[in-house]
Chain A
């Protein structure tokens, strides 16, 4: 039996027959592989960064919340709140978790020069800074303090409201509707106007915190001069004390493990960041899928190129194929030679593609690209939670996988044209012109 090495040697030499065609085909594979690596690394980087940013800046690892609130969370049903959160906070603290109470409501914020619809987060500034990291990203001014009607705004909201912290105090008015559920389950609406002062703006790596969002101390909203909360909150954000910012929540921050540390009534539940970020995760899947389909189209083009190259080679060497079969080569060996040839095109293209892909990727991983202006224009949508610096990440399995897949797929592209050629009677092959 002829060793595969011998067949591979012939295949390799065949590549030198039409150098220009070989180079062009290799280039096509190279571009496809490098682009695939680049796009995948970018999306993976964005995905990882977004997930970290959701956990570190937006909501922590999980929320303790009314189950009814979670069901209707898109409507922001503030009447589905709960009291007695202090006991849960204590239990969580003892179990090794930080927690931060919040009352989230929507309303309109009026400044001297404008107004904007805003999502208000009434927070405990001290607890908040233990669970989330946006508190250290005050672009101007400072973060809020307990006991004062102070507000920090997302930079986008601050711009809309023409807040200028360099020119003295910035008084604002919060206009909100308080929805109160009475004992019969009927919801009453109470309109409330709350004066406050903007003391800072937030510009964190998560665009959600920088959008039409405001943070206000929870303690000042308890009585009638505030939101009449009387100790109620809509959620308690939770974070493992020992988890670093670079890590994503693990098993310890799962709903089951956190719930086990608490004695929760049936109406309350633990909802993880994944439960809460379904929209984002769906978006991420869609984005990744769409981008990969586009990149795959490039792959398809490259493989059509390889298929064409092999088809032409098979046609051009029909006589030679006949001769080699006359010498005793089996159909499978003939097919293997051409699969080797196509595989080599894929392999060489892949190697160069990996080198090029990594070369393009390196600055994207190390320095990233600043898209802050574009993000500002987009506002806080459900897209990637990266405010300015888009960074790629190294994904070794994809880099190697893309190369291996391109090589194997290239080899497969030779199968059908060669298979058809070896079905031709040898005498016809030998007469072929």
Chain B
């Protein structure tokens, strides 16, 4: 089943009177359970595609189906609910809520979903154990290293068991050792939980780990290789 189905997707930005064609007719399909990377140089359009797939931005043309829904035809509220229920995000800059503890950050998506307290506690404890941060549950993000914060971000994306996890350059701020650990973790979670991971990256290590590698250049798919 296709988690994402992009057909001839266009995305234009308007900057200082100029139109920038970030995506020029991208057609891609990602199936459930994939562990894929979208690679390309800076400005190639890889992050743009990830943002459109995550319903963080609106397409200029074409169609983008996420979880079977045409996101181009959805309201702001429906898009928020789609993100809430089906999509987990991992950002390059972690983007944790600084005033919440590690476990509160992780449980936040479940709170948004209205999961009952007991289940929130159990599921949070499980993902905390999965990412190896049981001892740090009560810490605040600022009291942790970059690698630890990225683990929290992964746990936060995973905790609601979304159909799709989108990771925008997840290793960019980490050294290679920590980056490898994070990738190992995501791979094992992909295998154990069966959720789809799609990365945007220009990190060779991420490309090596990916089971499918899509190369984008100048807003167009250059190559799509399943390993």
Contacts and interface: CB of A to CB of B under 8 A. Distances in A.
Given A2-B112, A327-B89, A329-B112, A10 B97 contact: yes
A117 B56 CA distance: 84
B21 interface: no
B14 interface: no
A136 interface: no
Interface of A: 1-3, 6, 10, 13-14, 16-17, 319-320, 322-331, 425-427, 430
Contact of A2 (B58, B76, B91, B111): B111
Given A327-B89, A330-B77, A331-B77, A13 B109 contact: no
Most chain A CB within a 10 A radius of its CB, from B58, B80, B109: B80
A327 B81 CA distance: 9
A331 B99 contact: no
Contact of B111 (A6, A14, A426): A6
A328 B111 contact: no
Contacts of B100: 10, 13
B142 to A, nearest CB: 11
In this complex, the interface size class of chain B, counting residues with CB under 8 Å from chain A, is: 20 to 34
B111 A330 contact: no
B51 A427 contact: yes
Interface in B89-126: 89, 91, 93, 95, 97-100, 108-109, 111-114
A327 B83 contact: yes
B54 A326 contact: yes
B84 interface: yes
Contacts, number: 73
B34 interface: no
A217 B91 CA distance: 95
Given A425-B57, A430-B91, A328 B80 contact: yes
11 contacts: A13-B99, A14-B99, A17-B99, A319-B95, A320-B95, A327-B109, A328-B80, A328-B84, A330-B76, A331-B76, A427-B51
A426 B54 CA distance: 11
**3 cross-chain pairs, A with B, having the tightest CB-CB distances, nearest first:** A328-B84, A13-B99, A323-B95
A1 B95 contact: no
B24 interface: no
Interface in B51-94: 51, 54, 56-58, 76-77, 80-85, 87, 89, 91, 93
A326 B111 contact: no
B56 A426 contact: yes
A420 to B, nearest CB: 15
Contacts of A14: 99
B97 A320 contact: yes
B102 to A, nearest CB: 14
A14 B100 CA distance: 9
A328 B83 contact: yes
A328 B87 CA distance: 9
B112 A1 contact: yes
B57 A427 contact: yes
